[in-house]
Amino acid sequence: MQNNISFDRSMIPLTEPCKTLSVNWEELEHDAKALARQLLQIGSWKRIVAVTRGGLVPTAIIARALDIRLIETVCVIGYQPNDYNPQQANQTRIIKAPAHVSDGEGWLVVDDLVDTGQTVRALRQLMPEAHFAAIYAKPLGRPLLDTHVSEVSQDTWIYFPWESAQMEPMTMPKK
């Protein structure tokens, strides 16, 4: 089932990435556990929504740390088809909404990063009562989050471990 909620980012002033930050698996695990500790201070969570694809790994770590068994996904496209080229899509598309989440009350929504905030804006339309958390936040998106661990400048592109050359999709054309 495709959900046609979208957010047009044409009104957001963007800075092209000029700095990069590579996060390895150990750093990601450390930061995801730090986010879990912050979330534990806020309340007792029993339900979590992973924002695909970037939020899948942090969600798994946080769900394990907080002993959350009920996990849903929301599938979002916020970048151009080539995720390895730092260009956001003009619109964020929700291609699969989470099941049984309703307005999001009592749900924790986890992503790896909030950049301009376009994904969070689109998801807040879908789940206005949910608690939104991300490991990393950039200045344009940070005010839209409820909880985050680290801030990076707007002109920094973060490379996550699954974006390394060893993790390219098997469907990528051979060079």
Q: In the chain, what are the domain boundaries? A: 6-164
Q: 102 is written with which tokens?
A: 């309703």
For domain 6-164, which architecture applies? Answer: 3-Layer(aba) Sandwich (3.40)
**What was the pLDDT predicted at 91?**
77
18 CB-near residues (< 8 Å, 6+ apart): 155
What's the rounded Cα separation, in Å, for the pair 31 and 34? 5
pLDDT along the chain (175 residues), means of 10: 45 62 96 98 95 96 97 87 54 90 95 95 96 98 97 93 69 63
Global pTM? 0.82
Position 147: which residue type?
T
Catalytic residues: 111-112, 115
**Backbone torsions φ then ψ of 26, nearest 5 degrees:** -65, -45
Q: Check residue 162 and give its pLDDT.
A: 85
pLDDT at 167: 59
